[in-house]
Amino acid sequence: MGLKRVGVAIVAAVVAVSCGGGGGGDDSNTPTTTISMVELGKKLFFDTNLSSGSNQSCGTCHDPSNGFADPRVSVTAPVSEGSVGGRFGDRNAPTAAYASFSPQFGEVANQDQTPETDSNYQGGQFLDGRAVDLIEQAKGPFLNPVEMNNATEADVVAKVQNSNYSGDFVAVFGAAAFNDIATAYHNIATAIAAFEASSEVNPFTSKFDAFLMGQYTMTPSEQRGFDLFNDAEITKCANCHTVGSTSQESLFTNFRYYNIGTPKNLQNPAYIADNNFVDNGLGASSEIAVADQAAELGKFKVPTLRNVELTAPYMHNGVYATLEETVLHYDIQVANLFITPEVNNSNIAAELNAGTFVGLGLSDQDRADLVNFMKTLTDGHF
């Protein structure tokens, strides 16, 4: 469907900044360095000072060595701890990589998919699409009490102004960069979004990318998994987790919203606190006015599967520990393994509840092949 990157325009302009610094040295040969919006955004993304306890950055929960997801979580502790110890959100942190390719949140213009993959909305950021784009998304975590927990935008801006890279901020956004709090806060988010749209966060360097360029031959198991993944009759994986003929067309998500009957995770603090807790996803977002809320209950944005090998546990509430279990979800055994789908308003979940879901009928080998294929999506092969 030809999704284009619409998130953030990377600012190509590179501004010269004096290194300054009290290092003395040779004044006649003033050293200069260059700082781009992307580099500034990277400093902001990894600055732990920008949290109330000076102990947490965006990169804590979106760690590059863990596929830009949180290395601290597991199926029994599936949600990220905030800057203040003991505080947790409800949802499993998704990767921040490849998120820049999500279009702005909006209604699906063309209903061109099969009935199973019909959807009314696409795009946006967060699993329920409540931030229209990356800039609006980046404004959230700084002030969220269960995340970085700053009291006000002014607090965050002051921390940037007092940082050792405040000169970079001025170099990118001008001499008046800190004069107006709202503008400065918006620009902090703008720089972070530029970093998130950069090739460092979206490298496209997996075995699968090499395969698309004719530079990697899949093992027989990976190839069988790829064929199964693309099967529009049996698995239907690629109907939602889009595969194209180029890397940029293969983001492994159509950025649309579906209820796939993800069960509750009773080890998630939200469910421990309240057994009846149900995450209704897009249908319960207070920030988004959908036309028919009941029709959107239990729907979550299709996640990219790039680097999925590194981002366990899986699903919005972290209910599955491994990719093997996640594939089982799509197979018949989901009915035996789990008691209640979290919500039951549509599609597969409705079928499950009605007992009419026959599963995919995959063999052990088929499931292993699907997992092996998904492991070709890990960056860093070349």
Interacting residues toward ligand HEC by CB under 6 A:
56, 58, 60-62, 80, 82, 89, 91, 93-94, 96, 99, 116-117, 125-128, 134, 137-138, 141-142, 147-148, 192, 235-237, 239-241, 258, 260, 262, 300, 302-303, 305, 308, 311, 314-316, 323, 326-327, 330, 370
Phi and psi at residue 171, to the nearest 5°: -60, -35
Q: Between residues 190 and 247, which has the closer beta carbon with respect to ligand HEC? A: 190
- For CA atoms 109, 113, 118, 121, the dihedral sign is negative
Instruction: For the beta carbon of residue 111, count every other beta carbon within 10 angstroms.
Output: 10
Closest distance of CB 63 from ligand HEC, Å: 10
Between the alpha carbon of residue 319 and those of residues 92, 159, 251, 329, the distances in Å are: 9, 37, 23, 10
Q: How far apart are CA 325 and CA 376, in angstroms?
A: 18
Q: Are 157 and 10 in contact (CB under 8 A)?
A: no
CA-based R_g, the chain, Å: 22
Q: Are 203 and 64 in contact (CB under 8 A)?
A: no
Q: Are 195 and 168 in contact (CB under 8 A)?
A: no
Q: Is 130 exposed, middle or buried (0-12, 13-18, 19+ CB in 10 A)?
A: middle
Closest distance of CB 34 from ligand HEC, Å: 23
Closest distance of CB 137 from ligand HEC, Å: 5
Instruction: For the beta carbon of residue 245, count every other beta carbon within 10 angstroms.
Output: 7
45 torsion bin: left (phi>0), alpha (psi -120 to 50), beta (else)? alpha
Closest distance of CB 353 from ligand HEC, Å: 16
Q: Between residues 187 and 326, which has the closer beta carbon with respect to ligand HEC? A: 326
Q: Are 279 and 357 in contact (CB under 8 A)?
A: no
